[in-house]
Structure 1
Amino acid sequence: MTNDTTHAPIDGVIFDMDGLLLDSETLAMEAMEAAGRSMGYDMPLSFCRRMIGIPADQCRQLVRDTFGEDAPVEGLFEAQEVALRAMVDAGRLVTKEGVVPLLDYLDAERMPRAIATSSSRYRADHHLGLVGLLERFDVIVTRDDVTRGKPDPEPYLLAASKIGVAPAQCLALEDSPSGARAAQAAAIRTIVVPDLISAPDDVRARALFVLDDLHGALDYLKDVRARAR
């Protein structure tokens, strides 16, 4: 995306969480594979990746569509949660490259920031707390706070409203296609930093940039803020 809005002022930043702030998607996929094995289902990484960035109800429907209506859906996701929690509590959860410098800059600029995640409130608070990020956000919107999850724009529109910044003055940072589409549907400028899934053509066409890590997002934000002064 290169147009008149590219360098328009930015007054707030909205982050995805899993795969963008936290290096958690690989752990979640590993936990899902383990849950499947424990209950006699083959859930390869290629299948698990289809769940990235979409709400829990859609993930459950994906399991039903793939393994049949009789599949023990709730048991599978409970087993995944147990396996993931064990990995996280064992210290395997870390932040992604560039997260801390970007948050430090937002602190220095006194810019409001939010998270819009498809994870539950419990998981968001627990994971962010373990890596020391929980108190660094003004607002955290989870799947428990909305009626329609990503790729619907509701999570991003609610996050923008809660930090008091119009969508047109926000910047969204996403890793997944579903999340990027949600931010783009909310008319929020979006930078995509892919994690386990490459950005498809439609997402790339509407994104400001597709970057390797958040350092580039920090450079862009500094440039926009400098132009506004």
Structure 2
Amino acid sequence: MVHAVIFDMDGVLIDTEKYLVKYWCQAAKELGFEMKREHALLIRSLAANFAEAKLKELLGEQFDYKAVRSRRKELMSSHIKQYGLEKKRDVDQTLAYLKKKGYKTAVATASDFERTKVYLEQIGIYEKFDKVVCATMVQNGKPMPDIYLYACEQIGEMPENCVAVEDSPNGVLSASLAGLKTIMVPDLTKPDEETKKRIYWQIERLGDLTSLL
């Protein structure tokens, strides 16, 4: 029995992943590092410590993760200030349906709380969730299961009674390791064979979630 739905944020609720990938690469290039799109795709939803290790593995120990990340944040902030945030399709309808049917809802994101709150408030949905959980609130962020286990604890539900909605392999791994029924809504990439083994269902748009519950 499903009692709650827990959402990732970037790539599921807001259309930010394409810009995060773009500005990771731009920031790295500005600082003299040859970071490609495929490298940026690999760190989607990864907590900072895991992302840093992954990029140093791919690009060498000389890769200055903190400096590149700081510049990426500047570029992203400038973009949002100029163009605003894009809400993913079907978000409002899906949240309204879940509330009407009595499901609990939460957000479990790799982003810090300050950015998460600002983003969700900007698109008018922050108050629609029972809980908002961020990577900084747990010992290990995604792809480890901590954030989803903590989100389930915060809403008072067992993982097996919760659905996770994710768009990236790292997010899917986190939710599936925590024992949630994991639904993937692919954003920038389709699931690879390993990710397919971990998802309960794949849907093409968020609105399709309602027909599965």
For normalisation by structure 2, the TM-score amounts to 0.94
Q: Distance in 1 between matches of 2:96 and 2:15?
A: 19
User: CA contact under 8 A between 2:10 and 2:16: conserved in structure 1?
Assistant: yes
Secondary structure of the 1:47 match is: helix
Aligned to 1:11: 3
Unaligned runs of 5+ in 2: none
Paired residue for 1:152? 144
Largest Rg, 1 or 2: 1
User: Is 1:87–1:93's contact at 8 Å kept on the other side of the alignment?
Assistant: no
Amino acid at match of 2:97: Y
Over the matched positions of the two proteins, sequence identity in percent amounts to 29
CA distance in 1 between counterparts of 2:63 and 2:195 reads 33
Distance 2:196 2:209 in 1: 15
**1:68 lines up with 2:60 in the alignment:** yes
CA distance in 1, matches of 2:61, 2:36: 19
Correspondence list, 1:1-229, <5 A: 9-221=1-213
- Contact 2:107–2:131 (8 Å) recurs in 1: yes
Structure 1 runs of 4+ aligned residues shifted over 3 Å read none
Q: Deviations over 1:162-197 (max 9, x none)?
A: 011111111111111111111111111111111112
**Cα-Cα RMSD:** 1.4
Local SS of the residue matching 1:63: helix
Q: How many residues align?
A: 213
Shift of residue 92, structure 1, vs aligned partner: 4.1
Question: TM-score of the superposition, structure 1-length normalised?
Answer: 0.88
8 Å contact kept, 2:143–2:170: yes
The answer for the alignment partner of 1:6 in structure 2 is none
Q: What residue number does 1:225 align with? A: none
**Secondary structure, in 3 states, of the residue corresponding to 1:125?**
helix
SS at match of 1:187: coil
